[in-house]
Every structure is written in C-alpha cells, then in structure tokens.
Amino acid sequence: MRRFLALVLPSLFIPIFSAGQAPHRVAIRAGKLIDGKNDKPVENALIVIEGDKIVSVALGGSAPAGAEVIDLSKATVLPGFIDVHTHVLLQGDVTSAEYDEQLLKQSIPYRAILAARNAEIALSHGFTAMRDLETEGAMYADVDVKTAIANGEVPGPRMQVATRAMTPTGMYPLLGYSWELKLPTGVQYVDGVEGARKAVREQAMYGADWIKYYSDRRYHFEADGVLHSMVNFTDEEAKAIVDEAHRIGKKVAAHAIGSDGIAAALRAGADTVEHGDGLTDALMDEMARRGIYWVPTLTVGLYVAPGRGGNWQKMADLQKEDFAKAVKKGVKIALGTDAGGFDWKKVNQAKEFAYYVQYGMTPMQSIRAGTSVAGELLGWSDKAGTIEAGKWADLVAVSGDPLKDITELQKVRFVMKGGVVHKNEMH
Ligand SMILES: [Zn+2]
C-alpha cells in the first residue's frame, strides 16, 4: 500500500501543486510603447507579465516559453490612465435641480448600483485607477464600490476614496428647503477644531483614504480682475483637518476655486488643490515651490459652463490662461476630470488629455499628467503610472499615435488591469 502511494503521488499531485504555484505568464508585443516615464516612445517592445505584475520590458526578443502572447504590434501601448478627481456616485449636475433630485429621489443602494456601472465605463475607457473625491450625500458607499472592485465582484478601476467631504454647517447643499424637513446633505457638516479632528477620525474609521474639504464657495470677479471667493472654514479649523489627517497618515484634497480659497488651502497645508480657477502667479509659484498638486478638472468646467451661465464661462476662460502659466512654472499638474459632475454615459473622461494639449502641454506631458504624475499623487509611484518591471500590469492600447493626435486616447481598444484583460478590440 505504501509503495503504491509513493508511485501515484508524484504523478497525480505534483503537477497540480506546481500549476498552482506558477503564475499565469503573458507576453505583450507592443508596436509602439509610451511607458509614462521616458520622453520618447520605443518601437517593438516586449512586455512580460506574471500574475498581476510586469516582470520585464525589453526591445523586441522572443516571448518566454509557455507564455500567452497578446499581439498589439499594430498599436500604441500606454500605462493605464489615472483620473484623480471623480464622483462615481453622481450622474451629472449642471443645474442644482439635477443635484438635489439625485439626493432626494435616489436611494443610496440605487446610487451604488449606478456607481458600479460608472466604474465599468471608466475601466472600458482605459482608466485603471481613480481617486473618487466624495460621495455627494451617499455616505460611505464609495468604500463599498471600492471593496467590490478590489474583491473582483464587479469590474472597475483601483480606487482611493474620500467618503463624505467636509464644510462648516450650512455651506453646501441641500439648501433652501423648509427647516421643518430633515434632508440629506452633500457633505458632512463639521464645526470647530475638535469637531474637525473628530470628523477626520470618523471618516478614516469608515474607510476614507483621503480627506476632502471645501475650502471655498461664492466665486466672483472683483475689480482687480482676480477670481475671489468666500472661505468656508476658519484657518484654525482647516489646519485641524489637515493636521489630524496627516497625523493618522491620510492626505488632504481641498476644493478651492477662488484665489482666497486657494490661499487658505495652502495656509492649511492641503496636499492637492482641486479646480483652482483663481490661481494667481504668486499662488502658482508657491505650489511649484512646495510641490503641491493642481488638479484642473477642465472637462467639467467646459461641460457645465453653458448650462450654468453667470461667471462659469469666464472662469473656464481664466483656467486656460492659468494652465499655460502653470505648465511654464513647473506646477505639478495631475489629470482630474470631475466625472460625475458630467454624465458618465455622455462624456469620456479621456477628453481631459486633449484639453491639456489645447491649453499648452505637449502630448507627452499630458499623457504623464494622467499616468505617472497621477500615480505619484496617489502615493503609488512604485506600483502604478508607468510600464516598468515590478509595477501592476495596468495598461491600455490605442490604434493610432496619441503623440500626433491626442484624441486617440478617447478611443481605447485594449484594457488590462492587474494582468487581466478587460477589453480587447485589437483583433
Ligand atoms: Zn468634484
């Protein structure tokens, strides 16, 4: 009996055991490779992937024995795109009525179902990672969406999430309803230094990767030609938010549109400035010096301006001037769109790349803003944003040359996330 077992064990069990040990190997032939790091693309690259990671990137050569070969030799391969300002739980809010309706008429479970759909749209458009910057009244449902994606239950990008965001009481919708009604709010109302610290701890407890707060509101141009705004928090409160977040290892995103709001966010020590329409030369210089990221969200600005009227078109024009200056001054610009501020089904987030080129970046700078620079903002420089050995196998392919026509990035034909092919139309 013993002898019999000794004979069958190796043949029956060892192959199964070793098959479980050896990760799936894939070799991708890339006609052109833009790796997110080097200034120039390379021709005929061979990218070898094991499991969810890239193990080597070489010029030509033959695929390792036993590897599954994916032929992208007629395509341009790039790192998976990263959008660092999204709202998966929102479906567009050009008008405040559209916003209020979502919070009043849609349950959080229904909004979470739409969020899962939006995440799939984003991944199909080539976005393999996103920072979702608050749920707009859907409490902590972003954490659930992130978890479902991470567990492989639904397809979507890797996510970092900010949960509820913060303003002081009464400074964010829903507003203007009878005081007799108990209504949801688009953010968590937070007051006082102790309240700020407690809110940061609470959001972190329920899964916030980032803390987001609204530095300002009521944007208006004054005689000096500068876009001004009303600052929401006292300096003491804003500093308490940032200090507590940093103390427990979280970074802080500040929504700041007017110059006053941006200046207040910089005084508080925020890590990223969102929108930033009212940036002045002095504020840009300070951001460049301190390495604070600007996330311009041009797609939403240009999308909502016609419907909102008022100052919004003038603000969009101002961003165009700021953008060219910020590029020259070396401000770190990471790609963010504010998707959700526009309808996920109607606008492809990858339009943002084209706006950056229209406004003064080279195509390569624009690509980096939405790959390696965005990856750095997320603290994932060692994992995402470039195609290099050791990184996650997150990559996309387009048929044409995005360095000649940046709108090619709106026509992604191949998407791989963590070594798994999500979409392949390159046959
Ligand atoms: Zn936003």
Contact in structure between 84 and 335 (CB atoms under 8 Å): yes
For residue 336, how far is its CA from the centre of ligand 1 (angstroms)?
Answer: 9
For residue 338, how far is its CA from the centre of ligand 1 (angstroms)?
Answer: 5
Contact in structure between 47 and 77 (CB atoms under 8 Å): yes
Whether the per-residue pLDDT at 173 is higher than 90: the answer is yes
Pairing, β 251-256 against β 210-214: parallel
For residue 422, how far is its CA from the centre of ligand 1 (angstroms)?
Answer: 27
For residue 303, how far is its CA from the centre of ligand 1 (angstroms)?
Answer: 13
Q: How far is CA 174 from the centre of its chain?
A: 26
For residue 407, how far is its CA from the centre of ligand 1 (angstroms)?
Answer: 23
For residue 411, how far is its CA from the centre of ligand 1 (angstroms)?
Answer: 24
Contact in structure between 300 and 337 (CB atoms under 8 Å): yes
For residue 188, how far is its CA from the centre of ligand 1 (angstroms)?
Answer: 15
For residue 133, how far is its CA from the centre of ligand 1 (angstroms)?
Answer: 6
For residue 15, how far is its CA from the centre of ligand 1 (angstroms)?
Answer: 52
| pLDDT tens, position by position, 42-78 | 999 999 999 999 999 999 889 999 999 999 999 999 9
For residue 420, how far is its CA from the centre of ligand 1 (angstroms)?
Answer: 30
For residue 209, how far is its CA from the centre of ligand 1 (angstroms)?
Answer: 16
For residue 280, how far is its CA from the centre of ligand 1 (angstroms)?
Answer: 21
For residue 214, how far is its CA from the centre of ligand 1 (angstroms)?
Answer: 10
Percent of the chain with pLDDT over 90: 89
For residue 135, how far is its CA from the centre of ligand 1 (angstroms)?
Answer: 9
Confidence class for position 20, pLDDT limits 50, 70, 90: low
Whether the per-residue pLDDT at 307 is higher than 60: the answer is yes
Phi-psi region of 310 (alpha: psi -120 to 50; beta: other; left: phi over 0): left
| pLDDT tens, position by position, 93-122 | 888 999 999 999 999 999 999 999 999 999
Report how far residue 217's alpha carbon sits from residue 215's, in angstroms, rounded to the nearest whole number.
7
Confidence class for position 11, pLDDT limits 50, 70, 90: very low
User: What one-letter code names the amino acid at 378?
Assistant: L
For residue 340, how far is its CA from the centre of ligand 1 (angstroms)?
Answer: 8
User: What one-letter code names the amino acid at 72?
Assistant: L
| pLDDT tens, position by position, 346-366 | 999 999 999 999 999 999 999
For residue 123, how far is its CA from the centre of ligand 1 (angstroms)?
Answer: 19
Report how far residue 47's alpha carbon sits from residue 27's, in angstroms, rounded to the nearest whole number.
6
Q: Where are the beta strands (DSSP E) in 51-145?
A: 53-59, 68-79, 81-86, 127-132
For residue 211, how far is its CA from the centre of ligand 1 (angstroms)?
Answer: 13
For residue 87, how far is its CA from the centre of ligand 1 (angstroms)?
Answer: 6
Mean pLDDT of all residues belonging to the chain: 94
Alpha helices by DSSP H, listed for 68-107, are 96-105
